[in-house]
Structure 1
Amino acid sequence: MTYMELSLINKLNQLDQDFYQQITTSFDQTRQYSWQGWTRLLPNLEPMRQPISVLDLGCGNARFANFLDENDIQFSYHGVDSSQSLLDKASHNLKQQHLEHKLNQLDIVQALLDGSLSTILDKKYDLIVAFGLFHHLPSFKLRKKFIEDIGGMLADKQSLAVVTAWQFAADKRFEEKFIDPSKINLSADQLEENDFILGWQNHPNAFRYCHFVDESEIKKITAELKKITLLESFFSDGKSEKLNKYLIFKRELKQ
């Protein structure tokens, strides 16, 4: 496998950061509701000793915290996102709900590149979630490192990490959003397999990098994990109920 060049990783990461800065309001408006798949996580959370410490990576407007509160889960919440404008939305939402919280702005891609993700956050968590983040991590190498790194941040063998893989490329409805990479001065052969550039609603210059994590990549990543193991997986969300693939990991060394 050839690895993506650092300069391209940085360019794609900046593309996504610019995207969220540009469309904060319209994006936030489309992210006001809980995902269907979250309900399926509750049986895994209810047996945990509460309050559970939660790390929400790529937290956006922190709606997952509202979901936990609505379902009577006792928790402490730490939300992390690269977008300060979305964190401002999160802060407003959490204060309205009177939920104690900690929010940090962090370039997660850069933290993965320099190996500082776990040291910056410097804490162990009972539950780590990453909803709508995994597809924004440029390169197979970084996606694999992300799973390994969050495995090292779980508190104990009962702790869980939940990562979603957006299945947009398996849904024909999204094909009209695919953008020719040349629009952002890239050629298709610079990108890895299943890398896409997507547009957003009616914004002519709002582009984002997204990677379609398919079954073969999931198998390749999980086969090489050392700190955690895949406990279970399922499809949920959207009209198809297959818009996201949920991956639930447990801190448990393989035999």
Structure 2
Amino acid sequence: MAQFHFVEDYEKFVSQLVKTYPIDEAMAMAVGGNFEHTGRVETNLLLHAGLCDGMKVFDLGCGSGRLAVSLSKSGINLQYMGTDVVQALLDYAKSKTPSHFEFKRHLDISIPAADASIDIACAFSVFTHLLHYETYLYLEDMRRALKPGGLIVFSFLEFAEKGHWHVFESTVDAQRVKQVGHLNTFIERNAIQAWAEHLKLEVVQFIDGGTPVLDGAPLGQATVILQRPVEGRG
């Protein structure tokens, strides 16, 4: 099977970080830094979306456990599964979270979960590094794995948000000197709305990157909440 571009990109990226920095610093840098702070913001976004006791959460691209660690400290009784393409990140996340939290290396563009088994599927800073058709395929399989009424929460970059321009500008600068690292992808809201329509998902809410959530800090990236309709509605 051919290896997807993002597998090789991130294996190389994480390997270099681990060789260069102390392990905790490397694992934080692997997910963009601000490990604890961003984990809390992501948790607030899930709470805002409707996360509560007894739910099953699927975390696509869980990395070194930024969200998982925060969820484990939240006091919420939940089931959790996180997947990533880099085993070193998963091993670190496992070492920092409760034993019942599950972590799995998964290289296919799919969700390793049964039909209608997940309450919330999330992807923070994941689709920002994928091609659009890859994102669509992930969303398609997330919908399959969602319970009726279940939610998808994911972050994205958009040109309409001025605070995101620096990401595009830095990518352009890197291309000029032939030093582009991993892919940075922008997704406009009309694309997300079109995907949702074709996948029979309802757009619940868009949240601007600069908008604080639950009296906390903003994420920086924009976020969307999608819902699989309950039976009889779609």
TM-score interval for Structure 1 and Structure 2 normalised by the shorter chain = 0.7 to 0.9
The offset of 1:19, in angstroms, is 2.3
Letter in 2 for 1:141: Y
Indicate the percent of aligned positions where both proteins have the same amino acid: 20
1:235 aligned partner: 208
- Structure 1 stretches lacking a partner, 5+ long: 1-6, 185-196, 198-206
Deviations 1:29-85 (A, max 9, x none): 414224335424314335x4x321111110012221232233321111111100111
Deviations 1:109-167 (A, max 9, x none): xx22xxxx24x4336111111111112222x222222212101111232x211111134
Which is richer in strand? 1
1:45 aligned partner: 50
1:208 aligned partner: 182
Q: Give the Cα separation in 2 of the matches to 1:215 and 1:141.
A: 15
Where 2:178 maps in the other structure, the secondary structure is helix
Kindly tell me: are residues 237 and 75 of structure 1, through their superposed partners in 2, closer, same or farther at Cα, counting changes over 3 Å? farther
Letter in 1 for 2:127: F
Letter in 2 for 1:105: R
Alpha carbon RMSD of aligned pairs, Å? 3.2
Deviations 1:85-116 (A, max 9, x none): 1112101111xxx4521111112xxx22xxxx
Q: Give the Cα separation in 2 of the matches to 1:208 and 1:70.
A: 31
2:28 aligned partner: 28
Kindly tell me: are residues 51 and 90 of structure 1, through their superposed partners in 2, closer, same or farther at Cα, counting changes over 3 Å? same
2:13 aligned partner: 19
Kindly tell me: are residues 31 and 58 of structure 1, through their superposed partners in 2, closer, same or farther at Cα, counting changes over 3 Å? farther
Matched, 1:173 2:166: yes
> How many aligned positions are there?
212
The offset of 1:177, in angstroms, is 4.8
1:147 aligned partner: 139
2:113 aligned partner: 121
Matched, 1:223 2:188: no
The offset of 1:18, in angstroms, is 2.4
Deviations 1:6-47 (A, max 9, x none): x8x94455334422333355352414224335424314335x
Q: Give the Cα separation in 1 of the matches to 2:4 and 2:119.
A: 31
1:249 aligned partner: 226
Where 1:236 maps in the other structure, the secondary structure is coil
Letter in 2 for 1:132: S
2:96 aligned partner: 93
Q: State whether residues 167 and 242 of structure 1, in contact with CA within 8 Å, keep that contact through their aligned partners in structure 2.
A: no
Kindly tell me: are residues 70 and 172 of structure 1, through their superposed partners in 2, closer, same or farther at Cα, counting changes over 3 Å? same
1:191 aligned partner: none
Q: State whether residues 34 and 64 of structure 1, in contact with CA within 8 Å, keep that contact through their aligned partners in structure 2.
A: no
Letter in 2 for 1:208: H
Kindly tell me: are residues 180 and 153 of structure 1, through their superposed partners in 2, closer, same or farther at Cα, counting changes over 3 Å? same
Matched, 1:104 2:92: no
- Structure 2 stretches lacking a partner, 5+ long: 19-24
Q: State whether residues 76 and 100 of structure 1, in contact with CA within 8 Å, keep that contact through their aligned partners in structure 2.
A: yes
Q: Give the Cα separation in 1 of the matches to 2:45 and 2:105.
A: 29
- Given the alignment, which residue of 73, 77, 81 partners 2:80? 77
1:194 aligned partner: none
Q: Give the Cα separation in 1 of the matches to 2:77 and 2:122.
A: 16
Q: State whether residues 49 and 225 of structure 2, in contact with CA within 8 Å, keep that contact through their aligned partners in structure 1.
A: no
Deviations 1:162-181 (A, max 9, x none): 11113488434332354217
Letter in 2 for 1:153: A
